[in-house]
Structure 1
């Protein structure tokens, strides 16, 4: 099937390329029309147009100098972007979309960042979402990337609440460029192989052009065991005086030999099968008996990509042309993590509270399970009143093998349209287009088990009645006759390697997941000048757009039902469409007047009708004032809207396993604690735990065993984002010594009302225990019947998406650039710095603000990048310095420890990258680069601290968890 999809994509793109190529070759030379400029944020094209909103541009030279394999690697260093939601280093545990590369402007979430290709939408790489996977955009095919920060929904539609990332591909390129690159880290992993070929040809006057690009890249894995910081399971010791002091090792309580609970506590086995006491971390002179999960985890997932892209323009005559864009990307990603951690409560849910019967009632007679060892059987009792002896266990299913998945992701997009100009009293420009895009992911996974089969396999008896009719009355068989008929084999969970291949075959449950995202677009616009004012002509643009989005995600039957002991992932399907009309006007008010070199006003308006939320309106108003030629002030005020995406609307209850949850009841005793203590003791399980232990006590497995369900909401409304930007641009052209400098300073303020948010689970806990108690219905605790080990511990905390939230961010952007001759060569320099004054969320109206500005895993208050490039004859060097300011642990987490906001944090980090290039001759150049050249270590955001990326022991989206790496490449222009 995959080969058919690739073949179809190649045929369609190839056919379009062939048609354009023939037409380009036949085109006669004509005089090229005068070019106008259209910048991101406006649909009005005019000579010398400038953006009234903050706009940063990364050129193809910046991309080449970075050596980046995918665009996210470069964009994430820009200070306007927050921590990416999904990347190669933070998605190893993702149930889908592992290895996807997304961007997150202003840290307002990926869904509020609109990614465009040549000013038009691109199909999402994540089912049910609008996030574009930057893996599918070939870096060598990009001319520039324009980052517009601030609301732009009036111009481009929904999702542009935080801003727009507009990727502009190369045009009018002739020739052939070959680029080959290889590299690795100094630890000999994170290997990189890349090859690309870009070919283009144009007619004599460059009015028609065709370009084709093919690329292949392969990025290798980085494993947790190969970095000292993450090689051994660890956790924060939880000491408020030093939260970065770790307990190491802090092995998992789910071990391959099993852990078993009886009336006297718990025990396990050594490699010789001898019973030994359970000791997770090796205290009191005893060996640790837990399991090191870090031995199996990945920091960076291996990713293979095949890319095919083409673009072309063919002139029909002097005034009209047809254009074509085609993209195909085939991405292969492999995730790997430790064998599955199975507990008896995963198999015996609800009715027995995780208790396994060691004896069964068969025809009115108690029959013992012969696989249960005497050491356990003699020390267990009836704990749930059914007359049977019961025990609990946890076990790492090493015999089943490592968990993980192999995902094949294919993205296909075609766009075509007409553009040109016509005269109707005045000259007008027009463009109309249609586009179709699709992303499909096919994922196979392993390492899970069928819990129904596992339950039957655990319930074994000795076949004294020869139920199998094979004249063997001493063998062990499954008690259930139907299960036996279906191949049930008894399973022995006691000790290393005790599960036989036959039993393993009966319980093994490979998984699958199929996802599909489809996008259909149609649109058109006209722009031109309608009236001459003394300061210039009034420009207008009007147009329409229609968009249809459809998404589906369907796992195998066991996964859907949660019967493979993992997350329950019911199928998700949804679709919507939107019809929109928009308009824009640009008015030159004054020009060449005292104190007014130029004064322009502009405004845009968009009205859309969604099949889901009904009508939505966006607008913006902007002003530009130049008192003198060298100084330009700019300001915008905008109302942007974002309609809910398919997941937010239609996602059924989907299981998740949240981390970093602090139970408000921990430590509560039989008296005291105020309202929180009263609310905690009202839970029967908590009361039983207190009665047994003197205070509510949680074990390691309790902390690791919290689950919950996330649910969509079909009654959502659109959210509204109010943004204000005020800035100044200084280009001192009249000062000879400073004529090559450009300086910008912009203030931004974005506030989002009716924000679509999942209710934070920690907020629900605080509300239930010590608040007004309105959210207690989303919390389920384990019953008192669980016994003293787990009674009252959190089992489920659910979260529903709603329009109850709000988000805000405020700060200042500063950029400065300079280029000129220095010594025998030419130097260019660029600085970008963002100071984040404030950023916060509120989960419900009237709730206290959850501040995130300056927090780890969100966005530091100070982030900057400095790019320097120097060229001298055939030599050139480019350096990129990225500064991440001091950041702090989540204030909600600190509040649980009675610590104030910004009380505990990590220091700043500076990363230095460089690239050396030498021109062997005019058309050949060799380059050598090094990323994180000084091997700056990531801060220790270990397990148990908010912001931890599982397997990396840091925040792997914000900091570099890999270390120094280098690459060597050769580029030829033919």
Structure 2
């Protein structure tokens, strides 16, 4: 628990430094703590701060802690707390948000956080100091959609390892949401907003009330909230309205001048058109807008041929519409003067809707050899396909030697409709417990926590591949096979399929599928998930004994936790028979028993040491150990030094352990064989030419060549690993706190250095790394994970990449190093009060190591992990008027060095520039009980950097990194708050 109320207060004689720092930690963005005079007698509660379970009167921490209070949340206008947290430079780009998850098979619209760019699985999210149930099956990532922003008192952010205090997953740090618990009365809030373009329409309403029992022993709070955020579509932003792709050319000979320029090919329409594209013999056919057959096809136009391709961006989504209903309540009841009962309850229901282009369907999705027969033997005769046009039939040949003509086709299934999913998620969590005093100096708390997240998802736009094949194999019923007396109708050849209402499928032309065919082949996909968490724990803390410099404080406790997760698609999706990814069911569980002890030791009057150790026993990985040691030195009244050394552990999650092979379609990959000719290319060239398909491609084209379907046709399988063990993080933080009260009253400055290194990191081996190792001479055993096409298949070239598989292992390393600077200042200026806060992070280093002994893959300075990030807030209050201005700066960033190296481009030579966003809000208190406010986010409508499809870091449909930059543009809002 953190910052508990109703604890026994004592009188302490403290210096001005201690009081000022305590106020700064507890006040966060408010900056209203003022120093008391030296030697003043001050009433201070024993409290806990994030990172320690020892109740102390000083609220000090040897680890850096940043605080976001409710005033900052109100001033942001954020409907989701994720949006506000991402302004803090300590956070990296989230793995999942409303603007970067439209193409996720599951989890679209979920909101997660990632400290230090080390992954959301290494950031532990707490509510009131206790774990919160995951919002994603198989992982520990919490969906921040389930935490009501208006019910948050403050957010405490501790960076650096904290596993010794809180257990697994706190390798990068802890984000602790402290909920309001002392509110009385009634508060209403309503807010409306939309973007400059008229979309992203949002509205929220909330009701909060608090009451106290007549005897004063009981208190309870209730919160009801509703929010609705509308969609933003790719077609409604100029940068993303048209399908495009990035290509590279060099200013000169790349060997002499490696300066590369990325150029955008726009349009870069898909080669899967709604009207169909057909290869018969040596001729390629399609249909024009009037459904007239033509024997030419061009995705983007040229050589006198009209563009026939499909603009996928016309139906893609930038921001997923999200609707939420939230209920939260907490309360306590005093059983007597020393003991009380408490509870916390949360229920969240959210609905998200993703939407993307219709499915690209092709011959090789149905037939192993990619050849579609257009002649069928019936009663000893060859009958032609019911719908095949004469020109295509006459041009077709028997390419597979089975005696009948065949063709290849590729068709966008627009008749079936856009793909997309409607996901309904429900999260329920309750915590019950007792807390109180054993005596004047010893305190306890015990608790039971149960949480469950359920998801039900239905996806559209997919087809049953087997049904589609049966419907495609149709002829005109000259023999009256179905016995209905009609001999000029199209029927399915397979009698069993006819018994299940098989409808003939016509793939030729726009709107070619009949409604009966659509009904027969449509196969909506369903997903059902469940995550359960159950925790029993207890803590005791108090004063152990006196030393000359002060009292030794101690805390000890235990926790037993069970986690269960299940994720199951429908049978067709699991088998990959609905034209989508093959995703098997995943189910697993584990339990862990943990014990910890923590102590604060006053070494000298001005020096305090704290230490903690935690022993854990997992049902999966066995015993683990975490610890930390910290020092806090009050050098003078104005200067304090602090340092922490910690070892944290993270046990593998359920997906990492138990996930069966799950299909994915990776993007942003560079084939090292591209451009290789019949000679040269060194080791890479030799390795490429050794592949039969690549050699065939070179013989045909003179150099290894890929087409658009090849670039978009790479698949692969991800696998879990039951042999995983825990990963270990070692972190060091060293900092200085400067509060020159005698020089500049109201000024607080902190400067902290951090260094986190993770050994035996649980990682999925990057696919680009696999390619480089196989064809770059590093380790040819990685070639076992790669499958190339031996011959042309459907629309794909010989030798093109078909599958690149990857699995998780303890083979990696992760690290990050940098400096945090925070500055807060509050003073009176003129007739009003001024406050400001600057948070700046300089990322010195950040890297991953795919395998032991491999070179570091540096991500510091790349897109999503800029070296320089900052947030500067300014506020001014005069009478009933409040004004807040926030500036968020993201520095220059390079494109991923592995991506560039695959193109022969030096790392750091190509990237994007810096971006600054401005957010403002003004509010006016009409009366003591009514406040009106209005604001604008991205005030100057700053466009995000163009990171076009085909460049690593681009989120499909947004043409930027939508987790790092704002893909929506200027939004404005207006709202009211009413308190009684």
Aligned to 1:744: 750
Task: Measure how far apart 1:496 and its partner are.
Answer: 0.7
State the distance in 2 between where 1:802 and 1:789 align: 32
1:667 aligns with 2:698: no
Q: Please state if 1:714 is matched with 2:722.
A: yes
Find the partner of 2:429 among 394, 405, 413: 413
The 5-angstrom pairing of residues 219-234 of structure 1 reads: 219-234=229-244
Change (3 A) 1:785 1:874: closer
Cα deviation digits, residues 553-599 of structure 1 (max 9, x gap) = 111111111000001111110100000000101100111xxxxxx10
Report the equivalent of 1:970.
976
Match for residue 18 of structure 1?
Answer: none
The answer to whether structure 1 residue 449 and structure 2 residue 456 are counterparts is: no
Name the CA distance, whole Å, in 2 between partners of 1:815 and 1:787: 58
List gaps (5 residues or longer) in structure 1.
1-23, 592-597
Looking at structure 2, the residues matched to 589 and 734 of structure 1 have their Cα atoms a distance apart, in angstroms, of 27
In structure 2, C-alpha distance between the alignment counterparts of 1:957 and 1:842, rounded to whole Å: 23
Contact kept? 2:210, 2:222, Cα under 8 Å: yes
Which 10-residue stretch deviates more, 846-855 or 798-807? Answer: 846-855
- SS of the equivalent of 2:898 reads helix
Structure 1 residues 133-163: Cα deviation after superposition (integer angstroms, max 9, x where no partner): 1111111111110110000000000000000
What's 1:327 paired with? 346
Does structure 1 conserve the Cα–Cα contact (< 8 Å) formed by 2:430 and 2:449? yes
Q: Write the mapping of 1:537-686 to structure 2, written as runs, cut at 5 A.
A: 537-591=551-605, 598-686=606-694
CA-CA distance at 1:240 after TM superposition: 4.4
Query: Which of 305, 315, 318 pairs up with 2:324?
Result: 305
Task: Using the TM superposition, give the Cα deviation of residue 52 of structure 1 relative to its aligned residue in structure 2, in angstroms.
Answer: 0.5
RMSD of the TM alignment (CA)? 1.9
Name the counterpart of 1:487: 501
Determine the C-alpha separation between the residues in 2 that align with 1:145 and 1:206.
28
Give the structure-1-normalised TM-score.
Answer: 0.94
Deviation at 1:849, TM superposition (A): 1.3
Out of 89, 95, 110, the position equivalent to 1:85 is 95
8 Å contact kept, 2:709–2:795: no
User: Given that residues 650 and 712 in structure 1 are in contact (C-alpha distance below 8 angstroms), is that contact kept between their aligned partners in structure 2?
Assistant: yes
Q: 1:240 to 1:890 in 2, by over 3 A?
A: farther
Aligned to 2:240, what secondary structure does the other structure show? Answer: coil
- The verdict on how the C-alpha distance between 1:522 and 1:449 changes in structure 2, with shifts beyond 3 A counting, is same
- Aligned mates of 2:600, 2:216 — CA distance in 1: 30
**Do structure 1's residue 818 and structure 2's residue 834 form an aligned pair?**
no
1:260 aligns with 2:253: no
Structure 1 segment 467-546 matched on structure 2, within 5 A: 467-546=481-560
1:554 partner SS: strand
* Distance in 1 separating the partners of 2:884 and 2:291: 61
Q: Does 1:57 align with 2:67?
A: yes
Q: How far 1:400 moved relative to its partner?
A: 0.3
The answer for the alignment partner of 2:411 in structure 1 is: 395
Structure 1 SS opposite 2:203: strand
Q: Is 2:953 the partner of 1:934?
A: no
| Structural mapping, 1:794-813, within 5 Å | 794-813=801-820
Query: Which of the numbers 356, 361, 367 marks the counterpart of 1:348?
Result: 367
- Pairing of 1:381-392 with structure 2 (within 5 A): 381-392=397-408
Q: Deviations over 1:203-245 (max 9, x none)?
A: 6897642111111111111111111111111111232455442
Structure 2: stretches of 5+ with no match in the other structure: 12-42, 252-259
Q: Do the aligned residues in 2 keep the contact of 1:173 with 1:202 (CA within 8 Å)? A: no
Aligned to 1:14: none
SS at match of 2:923: strand
CA 1:314–1:475: 2 relative to 1, 3 Å? same
Aligned-partner Cα distance in 2 for 1:207–1:958: 48
SS at match of 1:784: coil
Q: 1:358 offset after TM fit, Å?
A: 2.0
d(CA) in 2 for partners of 1:317, 1:131: 39
* Matched positions, count: 934
Shift of 1:364: 5.7
Out of 246-255 and 673-682, give the one that drifted further. Answer: 673-682
Residues 1:197 and 2:207 are matched in the alignment: yes
- Greater Cα shift, 677-686 or 718-727: 677-686
Alpha carbons of 1:686 and 1:411: their partners in 2 closer, same or farther (altered >3 Å)? same
| Match of residue 373 from structure 1 | 389
SS class of match (2:306): coil
Q: Structure 1 residues 682 and 534 mapped into 2: Cα distance closer, same or farther (>3 Å)?
A: same
CA distance in structure 2 between the partners assigned to 1:332 and 1:866 by the alignment: 34
TM-score, normalising length: structure 2: 0.93
Change (3 A) 1:534 1:198: same
Asked whether the 8 Å contact 2:291–2:510 carries over to 1, the reply is yes
Question: Equivalents in 2 of 1:252, 1:393: separation in Å?
Answer: 14
The match for 1:170 is 180
Q: Deviations over 1:296-329 (max 9, x none)?
A: 1110011111110001011111111111000000
The CA distance in 2 between the partners of 1:887 and 1:779, in whole Å, is 31
Query: 1:265, CA displacement in angstroms?
Result: 4.5
Pair 1:778 & 2:796 matched: no
Mark the CA change 1:891 to 1:205 in structure 2 (over 3 Å): closer, same or farther: farther
Query: Relative to 1, partners in 2 of residues 1:821 and 1:787: Cα closer, same or farther, differing over 3 Å?
Result: closer
- 1:645-675 Cα offsets, whole Å, 9 max, x none, are 0100111111111001111111122222222
CA distance in 2, matches of 1:826, 1:287: 65
Provide the secondary structure at the position in 2 that maps to 1:155. Answer: helix
> What's the counterpart of residue 835 of structure 2?
828
* Cα separation, 2, equivalents of 1:256 and 1:787: 17
Whether the aligned pair in 2 keeps the contact of 1:688 and 1:788 (CA below 8 Å) is: no
Residue of structure 1 equivalent to 2:30: none
The answer to which of 52-61 and 237-246 deviates more is 237-246
CA contact (8 A) 2:420 2:461 kept: yes
Sort the Cα spacing of 1:204 and 1:748 in 2 relative to 1 into closer, same or farther, 3 A.
farther
**Aligned partner of 2:269 among 242, 251, 272:** 251
- The verdict on how the C-alpha distance between 1:681 and 1:789 changes in structure 2, with shifts beyond 3 A counting, is same
State the alpha-carbon separation in 2 of the partners of residues 725 and 65 from structure 1. 31
Please state how far the C-alpha of 1:388 moved relative to its aligned partner.
Answer: 3.2
Inter-partner Cα distance in structure 1 for 2:334 and 2:794:
79
Partner of 2:31 in structure 1?
A: none
1:775 match: secondary structure: helix
| 1:816 positional shift | 0.4
Pick aligned residue for 1:235 from 235, 240, 245: 245
8 Å CA contact 1:30–1:205 kept in 2: the answer is no
**Distance in 1, Cα, partners of 2:68 & 2:216:** 25
Shift of 1:362: 4.4
What's the counterpart of residue 876 of structure 1? 882
User: Contact (CA 8 Å) 1:584, 1:602: kept in 2 or not?
Assistant: yes
SS in 2 for 1:503: helix
Q: For each residue in 1:361-382, what CA deviation from the matched residue of structure 2 results, as whole angstroms up to 9, or x when unmatched?
A: 4466543323222222222333
Aligned equivalents of 2:486 and 2:924: distance in 1? Answer: 80
Tell me if the contact between 1:947 and 1:955 (Cα under 8 Å) persists in the aligned partners: yes
SS class of match (1:146)? strand
Is the partner of 2:968 in helix, strand or coil? Answer: coil
Q: For 2:964 and 2:250, how far apart are their aligned partners in 1?
A: 24
Offset at residue 460 of structure 1 (A): 2.1
CA contact (8 A) 1:208 1:312 kept: yes
1:71-97 per-position Cα deviation (integer Å, ceiling 9, x unaligned):
101001100000011101111111111
The answer to whether the 8 Å contact 1:152/1:161 transfers is: yes
Q: Which deviations, in whole Å up to 9, do the C-alpha atoms of 1:408-450 show, x marking residues without a partner?
A: 1100000010111113xx7211111001000001111110000
